[in-house]
A and B are shown apart, each in its own frame.
Chain A
Amino acid sequence: MGKAETLPARAKASRGTLPKTPTGISGLDEITLGGLPKGRPTLVCGAAGCGKTLFAMEFLLRGAEQFGEPGVFMAFEETEQDLAQNVRSLGFDLDRMVADNKIYVDHIRVERNEIEETGEFDLEGLFLRLNLAIDTVGAKRVVLDTLESLFGGFTNQAILRAELRRLFRWLKDKGVTAVITGERGEGQLTRQGLEEYVSDCVILLDHRVHDQVSTRRLRIVKYRGSTHGTNEYPFLIDEDGIHVLPLTSLHLNHEVSTERVSSGVPRLDAMLGGEGYYRGSSILVSGTAGTGKTSLCAHFADATCQRGERCLYLAFEESPAQLMRNMKSIGRDLAPWIKKGLLRVEASRPTMHGIELHLASIHKAVNDFKPHAVIIDPISNLSSAGTEAEAEAMLLRLIDFLKSRQITAMFVNLTAGGNAWERTDVGVSSLIDTWILLRDIELAGERNRGIYVLKSRGMKHSNQIREFLITSEGIKLEDVYIGPEGVLTGSMRAAQEERERAAAQVRAQEMERKQRDLARRRAALEAQIAALRTEFEVVEDESKVVAEQDRAREQQITQNRSAAAIRRGSDTASANKGRRK
């Protein structure tokens, strides 16, 4: 079906011109956008053991149970007793439903060796039985499982094909929604080419084994008049019947939250814009072996439970008891949270079952427990349960599923030593909102742990490497030493710090010494100044004395001169004598 064809079809479906009958099979109604075409036949085909009969039976039983639509099961292969026994394991009581007139089962037995064909015939007997069955319970749903057995019973194929064509027309006229099963054939969908009669909706079931792990898949080959998911969808069969696992969002329209949740490590929160992760975001913690990924998860689990929220911890490597013990040793005692019902640890080996069953069991656990946070430790070995591509598809689904429920998800990825850092084994990095990388830093015969935030969408985050210490009180982040000698961690960082401390001390002493020196020089200069001043005073005193002597001598001269004048009787002397009196 081309794109040009599906788009108008979608518009048509949304206007409700193509009524649909919900199957009640989990996931299928999402892919088909509502169910099977109402009042029309649908062909379900696949190889032996792929779950055709179960599909048909579940469609019928769920119809009767959940949607109040009685149904008719025309069994060409199994007897009523067999069928009743088969569905009992799914929790349906077929006998009771038959007794309540909700379901009508008719086993049609056609044995070629008991039958001789002698000319013209038709299948009116089948029509009459079907008609009686439909009228008896007022059926809205009909299953024919599997019509192809008829081809084994009759030699005149021309009559048979003509009658089948008539049968499908008749079913449409009856207005019943029919499911017809067919065995997968060579080069065509069914062995007898039933798809040429049923043109409205064809669903193909497949059962593959890859690396000894089985995977069931479902694909809608065509769905006339409706848009539908065209992918191969994994499905699984468990005690509740069939679960188809749709890519939960064919569209990216999850709600987002701006609320932040703590990582459980305060300094890591600080690196993440000061507040931690976004609620409902997906977080990837990757690193090589022994870098402390699980410890980081335990902190997050602890922080989640401390907020009184529920946390689901899926451990694929450690048993719950081992996890508890190990985390207790770093100061995170998780046992009380389990007792309080806030933490649930589910441990299983990834190879225990196929990847779809893992996904389904996670779905189930999430639906049961309704956690606020889910931790998967680790995702990297999920690929051992399937191919890498499958693991990636599964994670994509899982991330979508958890996001759509606003569940904060933390995934752990173990990177193999030789791999590039910025690569996950399972290529999910692009789906991740916050990616924290743990790496070991080897320096001077020592292995230390470093942590940094590779990316974190929608928040300002630190670009720094921090040294990651696992202590008995939990995780501690330390600044690494970054200086002229490069990035140092561990004991080298400690040694460098010691060296720096010593250097600082030396510098302080040097300063003190200089100051003392200066003080001394000042004192010396001051002494010199004092000496000079004393000298100056001496000189001044001397000059005073000289001046005095000079003046005294002058006076002496003057006196001597006056005395002489008197002696000579100079008038100036008498005048001077009179003035002197």
Chain B
Amino acid sequence: MTTRRAASEEKWELRLYTAGQTPKSLAAIKNLKKVCEEHLAGRYEIEIVDLLKNPRLAKDDQIVAIPTLVRKLPDPVRKIIGDLSDTERALVGLQLKQLS
């Protein structure tokens, strides 16, 4: 329970990689915001990277699938792919919830 409490105080840095304004990207942005508001209100930062504008970052950050959400903080780095429509899996991926 201590880790859980510590986690609740942590600052979250999230980065979402998209490629243009595709329906999947828009859905991912919407879903991500919803999840963050529900679980991480007030202590999260979202950076959206459009790889169409900066494709070099795809190599640097090892992005293959789009959209990809990267949890940069807290450690360890986690990658979540997809439009986050499966909220349950998104929470598990972000380690906001244990897999039941």
Contacts and interface: CB of A to CB of B under 8 A. Distances in A.
Interface of A: 106, 108-110, 114-126, 128-129, 131-132, 150, 153-154
A120 B24 contact: yes
Contacts of A125: 17, 19, 51, 58, 63-66, 68
Contact of B84 (A118, A131, A132): A118
Q: Using C-beta atoms within 8 Å of the partner chain, give the interface range for chain B.
A: 20 to 34
B50 to A, nearest CB: 10
Interface of B: 17, 19, 24, 27, 31, 51-52, 55-56, 58-59, 62-68, 77-87, 89-90, 92-93
Grouping DSSP codes into helix (H, G, I), strand (E, B) and loop, the B interface class, with mixed when no group exceeds half, is: mixed
Interface of A is mostly: mixed
23 contacts: A110-B64, A114-B77, A115-B80, A115-B81, A116-B89, A116-B93, A117-B89, A118-B80, A118-B83, A118-B86, A119-B27, A119-B82, A120-B83, A121-B24, A123-B65, A124-B51, A126-B65, A128-B19, A129-B59, A129-B63, A131-B55, A153-B64, A154-B65
Contacts of B82: 117-121
Return the 5 tightest CB-CB contacts between A and B, nearest first.
Answer: A116-B93, A119-B85, A119-B82, A124-B66, A125-B63
Contacts of B79: 114-116
Nearest to A76: B64
Given A124-B19, A129-B58, A129-B59, A118 B89 contact: yes
Most buried by B among A106, A108, A122, A126: A122
Nearest to B69: A118
A563 to B, nearest CB: 185
Contact of B58 (A120, A121, A132): A132
A128 B81 contact: no
B97 to A, nearest CB: 11
Contacts of A106: 59
A116 B19 contact: no
Nearest to A111: B79
Name, among A114, A118, A154, the residue most crowded by chain B CB atoms within 10 Å (CB to CB): A118
Given A121-B24, A122-B24, A153-B64, A116 B80 contact: yes
